[in-house]
Every structure is written in C-alpha cells, then in structure tokens.
A = this chain, B = another copy of it.
Amino acid sequence: MTHQIPGINYQFSDPGLLEKALTHRSVGSGNYERLEFLGDSVLDLVIAERLIVLHPKATEGDLSRMRSRLVRADSLRKVASSLDLGKHLRLGIGERKSGGRRRASILGDALEAVIGAIYMDGGYRACQSVILEIFQPSIEDLPDAESLKDPKTRLQEYLQGRGRPLPRYELQEERGADHDKEFSVRCSLRDTEQHAIATGTSRRKAEQAAAQYLYEQLVND
C-alpha cells in the first residue's frame, strides 16, 4: 500500500486510510464516503479561516460567496486533476468503463476524502497545511468579492449604498411549451425612467440578466 500521493506533501502513518479515501462506493463498503463527509468539513473550516485573515473587511456574505467558489465541485475537480488523483482511484468495473476516473463529482469527492483521511491520520494542523498548499493557486485566482455576487444582489446593494429605492421586476412575457419556456423580464428603477429588459429560460435567469444590464448602464453612466 502506498503512503503518499505525489503532489500532496503528506506521508500517511496508516496507509489503509489513504486506500479507503481512494475507494469509490462502486467497489463496495469500506469506501470513501465517511471520510468525504469529514474532509468536506475540514476544507470548509480551513478555507473560512484563510479568507477571514486575507479579507479583514469582508462581510459574512462576501466570505461565504468566496468560499463557495473555492469549494464548488468544479473547483475541487481542478485541484484533483492537478494532482492527477484520478490515476489513484479504485473504481468498480462499471465506473471504470464509463470514465469514472475523469468524472468531476468523483474527483472532487475523492479529494475531500483524502483531506478527511489526512485529518484522521495526522490531525488538524497537518491537514490545514496540506489544504493551504494545494488550494493556494485557487485562492490567489479568486475574483474579488464584488464580482462573485449575483447581479440582482449587486444591483440592490449599489442602489441601497446610494440611498435609492429598490428596483422593480416585472414579468413581461412567458412563451413556449412547458419544456422549452422563455421568460422576458423588465427591471426598472423607481426614481428614474431607466430600465432593462432581458430574456431567459426561467424567470429567475431573466431577472438576473435584466439586473446585470441595468447595473452596467448605471456604472457606465
């Protein structure tokens, strides 16, 4: 059994933990799911602390959005791929044949499980160093807090910060069959005539797009 994964600066005392962390449920019991549950929590905490230190003025909402971006499935897959984690996975035959080694969800889950295994094997501090090292590039590339907000939130906060009334969203049109709907929404200000109209495959998406257009108008004015 192997004691280490190249690229992860940690040597396991108990290689059985590492093996379990790399074992998908398609192999049977003794798989990574419990370790994944633990690793997910360790990751959340370590990233939370790092963001708090790096962003002394960020609100809880900003911190929460930044963390979500860092730990979402797609981000975990990138980190797992950079470590070539797929190569080490133990998968059942079905999963192996259907490309499980490259599946984003499996890679992210296994990465969390490896983190959980390091916590169990070496404790919190050791695990923290590993996380900070492998997530350093993602933390550095993080967009600023403002651009992580969804457009409706950004528009609302922009207006509130200037003592202006909240925008109004109105459904203009809804067309198409049930499985292929298109919504058209108008977002307008209450204190001027400015407005924007956008369409989307759901009412929510159309609202977000309209808010984005209106925000851009305001910022560019």
A interface vs B, CB < 8 Å? 33-34, 36-38, 41-42, 44-45, 48-49, 52, 58-60, 63-64, 119, 124-125
- Which 7 pairs between the two chains have the least Cβ-Cβ distance? A41-B45, A33-B60, A124-B124, A41-B48, A37-B60, A41-B44, A45-B45
Verify A60–B42 contact, CB threshold 8 A: no
Q: Provide 17 A-B residue pairs closer than 8 Å at the C-beta atoms, listed in order of the A residue.
A: A33-B59, A33-B60, A36-B60, A37-B60, A37-B63, A37-B64, A38-B45, A38-B49, A38-B52, A41-B41, A41-B44, A41-B48, A44-B45, A45-B45, A49-B119, A124-B124, A124-B125
- Chain B contacts of A36 at CB under 8 A? 60
User: A55 → chain B, closest Cβ, in Å?
Assistant: 9
Q: How far is the CA of A194 from the CA of B38 in the complex (A)?
A: 40
Residues of chain B with a CB closer than 8 A to A42's CB: 45
B34 touches A52 (CB 8 A): yes
Q: Is the CB of A48 within 8 A of B52?
A: no
Q: Are B64 and A52 in contact (CB under 8 A)?
A: no
